[in-house]
Chains A and B, each alone.
Chain A
Amino acid sequence: MLVSVYRYNPEKDNAPYMQDIHIDIPGGKDIMVLDLLQLLKEKDTTLTFRRSCREGVCGSDGMNMNGKNGLACITPLSQVVEKDKLVLRPLPGLPVIRDLVIDMSQFYRQYEKVKPFLINDTPAPAIERLQSPEDRAELDGLYECILCACCSTACPSFWWNPDKFIGPSGLLQAYRFLADTRDTARDQRLSELDDPFSVFRCHGIMNCVNVCPKGLNPTKAIGKIRNMLLQRAT
């Protein structure tokens, strides 16, 4: 099969280019895209990409495979290869450090903005702060995010305003703490989100839902933040 990989080494290359590599998959097996990258790296050791857990838990190997963002380690070739060809690019919209490795500083800066930790100013009890099973269930579909950035880098609103729009990933995390009954900073959190960019740059096109490798729904969480803002203000 033919693999076309985005290559860019700022120390050597003036501009990024696509490198075409023909490769035979051993035994014709349906391997994961990450395994394919490993085979490519054996051929050309300068090929650079991030990877760690190789089982969709760490979120290191997010990349754009034939036009769709996803985690290379849990994406089988049969799911993305078209006409025996696979185009691999870094996640779109963020600066490229080298080859498939991107600089995620802007993404993390937005994550930091939503204060992704529990705030509770009441005295700590002797045991854990308990929740009812129902209250705990509110966090399902929110806490599972692994911050791979597949969603935010698939979002045009994040491409145009990565410094102002929190992005789907950050907003999913924002709602994860807004929905937590143990958190006492709800009002303060909402005040910080009530501007024309942070939340409201989302136009609900659901690219984030389409690409999330964990099957989460940031658009729904953003809708719930909107409703919280609306209820607070009317």
Chain B
Amino acid sequence: MVTSITSFGRSGLYDWMMQRVTAVVLMAYTIFMIGYLLFNPSLDYAQWSGLFSGTAMRIFTLLAILSMAAHAWIGLWSVSTDYIKITSLRFVFQSVCGLLAFIYVVWGIQILWGA
């Protein structure tokens, strides 16, 4: 068994399942967004703001943001362990990815509940 302390869930199976579950959430969100934009060609600020004031939409969006953070972390962790062979450099890369994911989640929450 290969140990790893930097992977998302410490278990290959858990990471693999999370990658698939988050992919489904992101696909659902993307399809919804494309559909919404297609069916509302003359979209204005009031309507856009109204869409995101509903609790359901806020939950759905927060779910999509969290899914994106987890999905990106698992994916980029995998890429970094493939291609970055110098441990210190890999750790810095992973730290930057983790920090960015955290920033985007907090920023996303602020946007969702701030307006």
Contacts and interface: CB of A to CB of B under 8 A. Distances in A.
Q: Do A and B bind each other?
A: yes
Nearest to A229: B13
B15 A192 contact: no
Contact of B4 (A191, A192, A197, A229): A197
B83 A194 contact: no
Given A191-B1, A192-B1, A195-B2, A200 B82 contact: no
Interface residues on A, range: 20 to 34
Contact of A200 (B3, B13, B83): B13
Contacts, number: 50
Interface in A183-234: 191-201, 226, 229-230, 233
B12 A200 contact: yes
Contact of B3 (A157, A161, A191, A195): A195
A196 B2 contact: yes
B13 to A, nearest CB: 5
B81 to A, nearest CB: 7
Contacts of A198: 1-2, 12
Given A226-B16, A230-B17, A196 B7 contact: yes
A192 B13 CA distance: 12
A68 interface: no
B53 to A, nearest CB: 37
A157 B82 contact: yes
Given A164-B2, A226-B16, A196 B82 contact: no
Contacts of A201: 78
A199 B17 CA distance: 13
Nearest to B77: A196
B4 A196 contact: yes
Given A191-B1, A196-B2, A197-B2, A161 B12 contact: no
23 contacts: A160-B82, A161-B81, A192-B1, A193-B1, A194-B12, A194-B13, A195-B1, A195-B3, A195-B12, A196-B7, A196-B10, A196-B12, A196-B78, A196-B81, A197-B2, A197-B12, A198-B2, A199-B12, A200-B12, A200-B15, A226-B16, A230-B13, A230-B17
Given A195-B12, A196-B15, A200-B13, 11 more contacts: A160-B82, A191-B1, A192-B1, A195-B1, A195-B4, A195-B11, A196-B2, A196-B4, A197-B2, A200-B12, A230-B17
